Chain A
Amino acid sequence: MHIEGSYTFQAPREAVWDAIMDPAVMGAALPGGEKLEKTSDTEYEGVMNVRVGPVQGKFQGKVVILEADKPASCTMSVDGRGTPGFLSGTGAWQLAAEGDATVMTYSGDVEVGGKIANVGQRLLDSSAKSLTRQGLEALDAQIQARLAPPAAAEPEFPRVELAEAPLPITDHRSCASVAHQDRFPDNTRRGRRPGLRLHRPEQQKSLVLFILGALSMLVFVVLVRLVQEK
């Protein structure tokens, strides 16, 4: 599978580079990322939850920086394995300054095997694009948070969750959103983050409470209706 594209960050090159190389930032930006640790100067290990169509599971992976030319370019290898199968490949990206912004161009070839290749194939390309885009947008958000005045910044980086599975096949909304992204592969408009929700843990908690409350009210209303009809 071949992936390529570009993305514009509203930040200087160095800031983008540092953010990418910081496992705390990158780990948080990875869609479904559960953990990312720097194990040596050039190696990172992590766990990522991936879902492609009917296949879901954890990938345990390793990223090795093969070549780094700060802050211009980098090549790396990725090796991941887990219950859904495996993926391995190499990728390269370049950062180019464009005024105040930085344009990243990236390309990679990934070999995918196991369950994810067998039954997720028709969704793999679009899912990969969608995951890449979600990751880059989250990264952009992380960079913006880093660059924001200290007073406004949160002490911890907000965690990025997959708002919804990238592509559950029955979910037309997310399919549509991916298709939409495919049509604008070089989307530089910031702020558009389809399928992505940023929230801090306490917000998440209150959101869950809210949803539960709403659901129970709904159930209550339905029950009352049913009783009345009888």
Chain B
Amino acid sequence: MTTRYFGKPIRRNEDPRLLTGQALFTDDVELPGMLHAAFVRSDYAHAWLRGIDTSLARDLPGVVAIYTAADLGDYWQPGPLLVNPPPIKDLVFNTATQVPLARDKVRHAGEPIAIVVAESRYIAEDAVDLIFVDYDPLPAIVHLADALKPDASIIHDDLGTNLNAHVIQEKGNYAAAAAQADLVIKRHFDYDRGTAAAMENRGIVATWDAKSEQLTMWDTTQAPISIRNGLAGMLGLSERQVRVIAPFIGGGFGPKIMMFYPEEVLLSWITMRLNRPVKWIEDRRENFFATTQERGQVHEAEIALTRDGKVLGVKDVFLHDAGAYAPYGLTVPINSQCTLLGQYDVANYYTEFTSVFTNKPIVTPYRGAGRQHGVFVMERLLDFAARELGIDRAEIRRRNFIPPDAFPYSNDIIFQDFAPLVYDSGNYEPALDRVLEMIDYKHFIEVEQPRLRAEGKHVGLGLVTYVEGTGIGPYEGAKVTVEASGRVSVATGIGTQGQGHFTSFAQVVAEQLGVPVENIRLVTGDTSEFYWGAGTFASRGAVVAGNAIHAAAVAVRRKILDKASEELEVDPEDLELVDGVVQVKGVPASAIPLGELARRANPMRGAVKPGSEPGLEATDYFGPERGATASGVHAMIVEVDPETMMVQIKRHVVVHDCGTVINPMILEGQIQGGVAQGLGNAFYEQLHWDDNGQLLNASFMDFLLPTADTVPHVEMDHVVTPSPLNPLGIKGAGEAGAIPVAPLFAQAVEDALIDFDVELNEIPLSPNRLFELVAEARGLHGSES
């Protein structure tokens, strides 16, 4: 009997290295003669640069070089537009991408102006303090609604407007549907900006070897191959001369896939000029400005329903904050548009957004990448509709689910991968039923909640559903090699930031080759190990790279069977791969260890048949036709202290469907982590900007993150609806935990505060904000302070 590896909760291969401090992170890279970089960053959110005086800093002993935009010459170029706008009719799109160092103008606080390279970081930082920048301040655009006012200060003067994009997408005819509706509900929703706050900040070590003409860069990027290709182009090098290594990374969450960050462009260029290695490690305060952010949107939405709760149509018009530059095109707002309808069969949908430039850090996808905004709007609208119509909240959702026989289901609008938004598969009712059972829904609302309320406790329940478009193309690839030692090496181009790739990908290979997972060595994110790929984003690692690895492993399996059938003179059909050997089925005496077979496949003498390849190795690729749609249901029970508005999460239940599961333990970790991040967004985290675009809480002293003592242990179960779009049937899961937490939290807290008659239409909802909202609802308008 063959041992199964796929689908098992196998412990993570990488953990011993991580837990004993042996894993290489970028800051662990120490090279002889290494220099250190620090940046002069703008104090102003919006200002003309009148001059930069570096003379004092240059005189500081230990300072090796200082560069401003003027020193970069022709190398100074705005970054590439990473994602072109999708082919949507009448779409308006104005592009403006980030620059390596600000030249004439700064457009957000923290934008880099000059880079100092010195013998130590201490000296570099001291030198930064000696550089005088002459600013001519301009009014800053901070609030979205101000960006398009006629007298607004213009951020990109060449555009003459702060409009980044305007997009309308339609399915059916909303106006006609609303005219026939029994009930139309309209609301305003506010979803504030957030930062990923990865445990590891960004960092880069770049080194140029003049003798071998090789540039090597360790970079905390989620897309090492794209960075290599881009750098080679900019630096006039062959792609083979550039090696980008994304080693272990302490959390990516999206912002680490920006291209290019100014630091990447600069350090690679500087090491070639100075012929010495250069290191830059982002500090925490820099991270609040220099790393991209996401989330800021303001929605005006309405929903039209029949008396019995059937949704006839939804209309949503929103403003999206692109930040100072928009290198990622429209990915985030398109995701908001395309995720809003969720699991529901809605025939008429009007969605319009306006994306505006603001004097705040750049916006790029961050875990959820716009999806949670859509889910927030839809789930909140359903809550209000349920209340208005006197329908149970689980029931109103059930009545609108897309039925299981309706897949593939088209929403007739264009998704972020430029393909029409078609859900490949789904089966929503079983997940809802399972959640209701796990949280004991009926008992809680009929017995438990009334009993606790009678005791004076403020307890509430939340219940929301969502979908997640995952695993989009273009493609990933992998190379699988059986070594003479019997160990198997696997290389793929995507980077890893803690997802457990070393284990789950090894399981995919183990399943085909019958080799224990611990004998499979995986390399991710090193461009010298695998040449092709796109990157880790959009919950696509397991879907796209996983299937590429599967394809390569299947090819190697075929080679093993062919070679062994030659050696053993039996039909390949009669062979099996078990515990690192290939043998005639049920005849261990006939076994050849895979390492021995690999040696025989790479002979020192004799003839290799023409047309055959040496070794037991294969490279293969996988590109899905379009994204696979994962889905899930979350439920939560909270208790709110009516005095302090502190919220305690009593239970959090998730039933999730991401198709076939490679490793349920890793999947649960992903969801648990996502929930923690979603909870942070919903409750703890808020970036406070003043009217001049100054961030007032750029430290963990003032910016609150959820911690181990506040994040609940998530109770989980899975429903499996395999995706027909890839051989393994996988859907992505990376963002699932984070996406629905905001509406879940709002609904649960609102339910707990039912006596106060407060509606929660914004995120985040800190205790302070809850207190204010309750005071407003009571007509006190915060006078009780």
Query: Interface of A with B (CB < 8 Å)?
Result: 57, 81, 83, 85-86, 111-115, 117-119, 121-122
| Nearest CB of chain B from residue A62's CB, rounded to whole Å | 13
B571 at the interface (CB under 8 A from A): no
Beta-carbon nearest neighbor of A86 in chain B: B43
Bound complex: CA A118 to CA B699 (Å): 7
B213 at the interface (CB under 8 A from A): no
> What A residues does B45 contact at CB under 8 A?
113
Give the residue among B43, B45, B698 with the most A Cβ atoms within 10 A. Answer: B43
Question: Taking chain B's interface residues, is the majority helix, strand, or loop, or is none over half, making it mixed?
Answer: loop
Beta-carbon nearest neighbor of A124 in chain B: B696
Contact indicator A115/B285 (Cβ below 8 Å): yes
- Known A-B contacts A57-B129, A86-B43, A122-B702; the reply to A117 vs B285 at CB < 8 A is no
B692 touches which of A81, A83, A113, A119 (Cβ 8 Å): A113
**Top 8 closest pairs, chain A to chain B, by CB:** A114-B43, A118-B698, A83-B129, A121-B696, A117-B694, A119-B699, A113-B694, A113-B43
Bound complex: CA A119 to CA B288 (Å): 11
> What A residues does B690 contact at CB under 8 A?
117
Interface residues on B, range: 10 to 19
Query: Interface of B with A (CB < 8 Å)?
Result: 43-45, 109, 129, 135, 285, 288, 688, 690, 692, 694-699, 701-702
Given A86-B135, A115-B43, 8 new contacts (CB under 8 A): A85-B43, A112-B694, A114-B694, A117-B690, A117-B694, A118-B109, A118-B696, A122-B702
> What A residues does B694 contact at CB under 8 A?
112-114, 117-118
Beta-carbon nearest neighbor of A122 in chain B: B702
> What A residues does B135 contact at CB under 8 A?
86
| Nearest CB of chain B from residue A84's CB, rounded to whole Å | 9
> What B residues does A81 contact at CB under 8 A?
43
Beta-carbon nearest neighbor of B129 in chain A: A83
Contact indicator B697/A121 (Cβ below 8 Å): yes
> What B residues does A121 contact at CB under 8 A?
688, 696-697, 702
A111 touches which of B285, B692, B696 (Cβ 8 Å): B692
B698 touches which of A86, A112, A119 (Cβ 8 Å): A119
> What A residues does B688 contact at CB under 8 A?
121
Bound complex: CA A85 to CA B690 (Å): 15
Contact indicator A118/B288 (Cβ below 8 Å): yes
Bound complex: CA A83 to CA B131 (Å): 9
Contact indicator B285/A119 (Cβ below 8 Å): yes
> What B residues does A85 contact at CB under 8 A?
43
Bound complex: CA A111 to CA B142 (Å): 15
Contact indicator A113/B699 (Cβ below 8 Å): no
Contact indicator B285/A113 (Cβ below 8 Å): no
> What B residues does A83 contact at CB under 8 A?
129
The 23 listed contacts between A and B (C-beta, < 8 Å) are A57-B129, A81-B43, A85-B43, A86-B135, A112-B694, A113-B43, A113-B45, A113-B694, A114-B109, A114-B694, A117-B694, A117-B695, A117-B696, A118-B109, A118-B285, A118-B288, A118-B695, A119-B285, A119-B698, A119-B701, A121-B696, A121-B697, A122-B702
> What B residues does A118 contact at CB under 8 A?
109, 285, 288, 694-699
Bound complex: CA A125 to CA B695 (Å): 16
Bound complex: CA A111 to CA B109 (Å): 14
| Nearest CB of chain B from residue A117's CB, rounded to whole Å | 4
